[in-house]
């Protein structure tokens, strides 16, 4: 019930979690760890994104920078060049698009192009990213990316007159050195007296006598430099600070930028399989490290960042959390985190499982090649779903949709309400509609719960044809929307509907079945759009719906559909033809 009650507001979309949602991975990169280069061309990426939607993906996560272990950072301009055409094209087809980026400029541009979600691998630790999303309505994904340190503080350089600065600095250094020597003399005498009392003096070759140290280590013969400068020395250091030569500035800036890319540095360490939290390679009594310190870090970070966003003005129902498997974590730690999915789900935010093809999945399954880890990925995702995960981020969206549909049909009885529009203007129109109703009732896991009257309407879009008979059928179904659509298209084929390329669009037909709406479902793509994008302009749909619900215009407006006034619609109802 807790899972069912969660919702995720992402711009104009609202996702419910009466079933898990599938986020398809679309890497527009040449170097991603499992599919680098496959969809680097924008046209290929768009085609693949639409294919994932048609196969069952609910969300498409578009990324232009690989964050695999050992990745090379990408300039934000180059990242935007890669992803923006893809985001724009998918959003135009009604897709819920997520932009996978850590750069605020890329996030802003993607949202302007239609992205509904910002998936930040650095967990919104950049104040500029927080500032942007608080002014937007997009959904956000807060990810834990290992031990990415806070940004280093930067200090402004000061330009002084060099002749005066050098003189001041020299005097300050001399004063500091003299003060340090004077302060050291009493301490040195006390230390020597104490060491002499602790151990007898030792004679070195040549007759040199030296006091022995408590642990047998000889005292250094040279004085170490002081670790903390005196205030005078600090003043001298400040006085000596000058701006770098103009010709050196670009190189210095580039080097600083590379060294300050904390995510890249962390993932380089991850590539060397370094442990992020506690050393787990030492001898121990248990197969996995203690979960408490690991989960304190992960859940503490996710909770803190979510609260930071809420305090900034981002509503709670826009926030999703992701523990970030593979980011600065060992295989042991990733397993610990996955086993604690229920604890993370209890935080109350939608929870993402993004384990697809990760190294730890290979470690537990024995599969070396990343692209061959999909079956193992599905197993880990299933465990996460059972423990409360709401969204699964996978590379093989088609395969996981089949996997999830099979599991859900058996494990989670869940009939949902849907509406199917039925139309015919060839042959015995009313008989065709009644035959379609009877065949819909025979679809597996589906029943017909109500039907409108049959109405006669004017043709819509293509006027040179006979009038249509129209009705709307209310059903309950446990099938996924795309599976139900396939069943409806089989009925069309059985009743003689011609969907070949030679058939005229919006022309005469023996039967036409349109899935209009399904409870809790939002979908985009070429094959299926939910809610149906043309409901609001079709009189031959809205009038029959009045037999099944109170005020369908208001209902669909609430669901984000633009509904036109009766005089502005197409396919106006002209009469009744009888009951179903």
Place of tokens 């787990």: 280
Express each pLDDT in 114-158 by its tens digit: 999 999 999 999 999 999 999 999 999 999 987 653 344 444 444
pLDDT reported for residue 187: 53
Band (272; pLDDT cuts 50, 70, 90): low
**Rounded mean pLDDT of 423-432?**
96
Q: What ranges make up the beta strands (E) of 58-158?
A: 59-63, 96-100, 117-120, 139-143
pLDDT reported for residue 500: 87
Q: Dihedrals φ, ψ of 554, to 5°?
A: -65, -40
**In angstroms, rounded to a whole number, what is the distance separating the alpha carbons of residues 95 and 23?**
11
% of the chain surpassing 90 pLDDT: 66
Let me know if domain 416-578 sits in CATH 3.30.70.560. Answer: yes
**In angstroms, rounded to a whole number, what is the distance separating the alpha carbons of residues 297 and 147?**
9
Average pLDDT, the chain: 82
Judged against a pLDDT cut of 60, whether residue 258 lies above it is answered with: no
pLDDT reported for residue 501: 83
Judged against a pLDDT cut of 70, whether residue 168 lies above it is answered with: no
**Rounded mean pLDDT of 66-78?**
77
**Rounded mean pLDDT of 68-88?**
86
**Rounded mean pLDDT of 329-352?**
96
Q: What ranges make up the beta strands (E) of 144-300?
A: 201-203, 209-211
**In angstroms, rounded to a whole number, what is the distance separating the alpha carbons of residues 580 and 571?**
20
Please tell me which residue, 490 or 276, carries the higher pLDDT value: 490
How far CA 262 is from CA of 266, 412, 517, in Å, comes to: 6, 43, 46
pLDDT reported for residue 207: 45
% of the chain surpassing 70 pLDDT: 73
pLDDT reported for residue 320: 98
pLDDT reported for residue 147: 65
Please tell me which residue, 476 or 181, carries the higher pLDDT value: 476
Question: Which listed CATH number (1.10.150.50, 3.40.50.1000, 3.20.20.20, 3.40.50.620) goes with 2-148+279-411?
Answer: 3.20.20.20
The structure tokens listed for 503 are: 């058939």
Count of CA atoms in the C-beta half-sphere (13 A) of 138: 29
Place of tokens 């527009």: 28
Express each pLDDT in 31-64 by its tens digit: 555 555 566 688 999 999 999 999 999 999 999 8
DSSP alpha helix (H) spans, 154-211: 162-198
| Secondary structure in 3-state letters for 106-123 | HHHHHHHCCCCEEEECCC
Judged against a pLDDT cut of 60, whether residue 255 lies above it is answered with: no
Count of CA atoms in the C-beta half-sphere (13 A) of 379: 11
- Peptide bond preceding 167 in cis form (omega within 30 of 0): no
Express each pLDDT in 184-196 by its tens digit: 665 555 555 444 4
Of residues 390, 341, 335, 323, the one with CA closest to residue 362: 335
Which strands, in side-by-side order, build the sheet including 96-100? 319-322, 139-143, 117-120, 96-100, 59-63, 21-27, 391-394, 352-353
**Rounded mean pLDDT of 495-524?**
92
pLDDT reported for residue 324: 94
Strand 13-16, strand 7-10: pairing: antiparallel
**Rounded mean pLDDT of 394-411?**
96
**In angstroms, rounded to a whole number, what is the distance separating the alpha carbons of residues 411 and 404?**
10
pLDDT reported for residue 262: 66
Band (233; pLDDT cuts 50, 70, 90): very low
Judged against a pLDDT cut of 80, whether residue 256 lies above it is answered with: no
Band (328; pLDDT cuts 50, 70, 90): confident
Judged against a pLDDT cut of 70, whether residue 203 lies above it is answered with: no
Of residues 100, 10, 43, the one with CA closest to residue 324: 100
Please tell me which residue, 415 or 67, carries the higher pLDDT value: 415
**In angstroms, rounded to a whole number, what is the distance separating the alpha carbons of residues 22 and 117?**
14
Domains 2-148+279-411 and 416-578 equal at CATH topology level: no
Judged against a pLDDT cut of 50, whether residue 171 lies above it is answered with: yes
Say if CB 407 and CB 19 are below 8 A apart: no
Of residues 120, 121, 148, the one with CA closest to residue 270: 148
Domain positions in the chain: 2-148+279-411, 416-578
**Rounded mean pLDDT of 521-533?**
95
Judged against a pLDDT cut of 80, whether residue 101 lies above it is answered with: yes
pLDDT reported for residue 73: 79
- Rounded to the nearest 5 percent, the helix, strand and coil shares of the chain are 40, 15, 40
Judged against a pLDDT cut of 80, whether residue 275 lies above it is answered with: no
């Amino acid at each position: 019930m807790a899972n069912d009650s969660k919702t995720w507001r992402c711009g104009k979309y609202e996702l419910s979690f009466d079933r898990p949602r599938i986020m398809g991975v679309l890497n527009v990169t040449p170097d991603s760890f499992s599919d680098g280069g496959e969809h680097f061309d924008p046209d290929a990426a768009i085609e693949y994104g639409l294919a994932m939607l048609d196969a069952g993906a609910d969300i498409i996560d578009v990324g232009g920078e690989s964050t695999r272990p050992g990745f090379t950072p990408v300039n934000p301009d180059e990242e935007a060049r890669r992803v923006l055409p893809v985001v724009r094209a998918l959003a135009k087809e009604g897709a819920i698009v997520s932009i996978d980026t850590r750069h605020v400029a890329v996030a802003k541009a993607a949202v302007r192009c239609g992205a509904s979600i910002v998936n930040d691998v650095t967990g919104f630790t950049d104040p500029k990213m927080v500032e942007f999303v608080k002014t937007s309505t997009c959904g956000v994904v807060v990810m834990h990316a290992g031990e990415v340190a806070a940004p280093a503080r930067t200090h402004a350089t000061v330009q002084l007159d060099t002749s005066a600065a050098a003189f001041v600095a020299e005097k300050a250094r001399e004063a500091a050195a003299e003060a340090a020597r004077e302060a050291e003399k009493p301490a040195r005498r006390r230390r020597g007296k104490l060491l002499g009392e602790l151990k007898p003096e030792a004679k070195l070759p040549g007759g040199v006598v030296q006091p022995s140290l408590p642990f047998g280590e000889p005292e250094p013969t040279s004085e170490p430099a002081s670790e903390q400068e005196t205030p005078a020395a600090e003043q001298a250091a400040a006085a000596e600070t000058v701006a770098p030569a103009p010709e050196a500035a670009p190189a210095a800036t580039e080097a600083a930028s590379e060294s300050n890319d904390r995510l890249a540095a962390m993932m380089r360490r991850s590539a060397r399989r370094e442990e992020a939290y506690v050393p787990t390679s030492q001898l121990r009594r248990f197969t996995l490290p203690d979960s408490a310190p690991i989960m304190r870090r992960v859940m503490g970070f996710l909770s803190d960042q979510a609260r930071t966003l809420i305090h900034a003005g981002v509503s709670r129902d826009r926030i999703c959390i992701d523990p970030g498997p593979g980011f600065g974590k060992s295989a042991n730690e990733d397993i610990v985190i996955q086993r604690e999915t229920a604890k993370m789900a209890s935080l109350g935010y939608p929870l993402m499982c993004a384990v697809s093809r990760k190294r730890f999945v290979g470690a537990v399954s024995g599969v070396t090649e990343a692209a061959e880890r999909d079956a193992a990925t599905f197993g880990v995702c299933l465990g996460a779903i059972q423990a409360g995960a709401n969204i699964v981020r996978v590379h093989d969206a088609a395969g996981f949709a089949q996997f999830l549909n099979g599991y859900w049909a058996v494990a989670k009885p869940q009939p949902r309400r849907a509406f199917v529009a039925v139309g015919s203007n060839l042959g015995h129109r009313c008989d065709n509609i009644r035959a379609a109703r009877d065949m819909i009732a025979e679809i597996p896991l589906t029943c017909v719960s109500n039907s409108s009257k049959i109405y006669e309407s004017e043709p819509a879009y293509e006027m040179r044809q006979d009038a249509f008979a129209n009705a709307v059928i209310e059903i309950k179904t446990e099938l996924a929307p795309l599976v139900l659509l396939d069943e409806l298209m089989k009925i069309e084929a059985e009743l003689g509907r011609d969907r070949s390329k030679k058939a005229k669009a919006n022309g005469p037909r023996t039967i036409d079945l349109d899935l209009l709406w399904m409870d809790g479902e939002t979908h985009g793509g070429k094959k299926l759009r939910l809610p149906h994008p043309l409901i609001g302009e079709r009189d031959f749909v809205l009038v029959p719906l009045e037999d099944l619900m109170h005020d369908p215009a208001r209902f669909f407006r609430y669901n984000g559909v633009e509904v036109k006034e009766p005089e502005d619609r197409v396919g106006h109802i002209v009469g009744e033809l009888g009951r179903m």
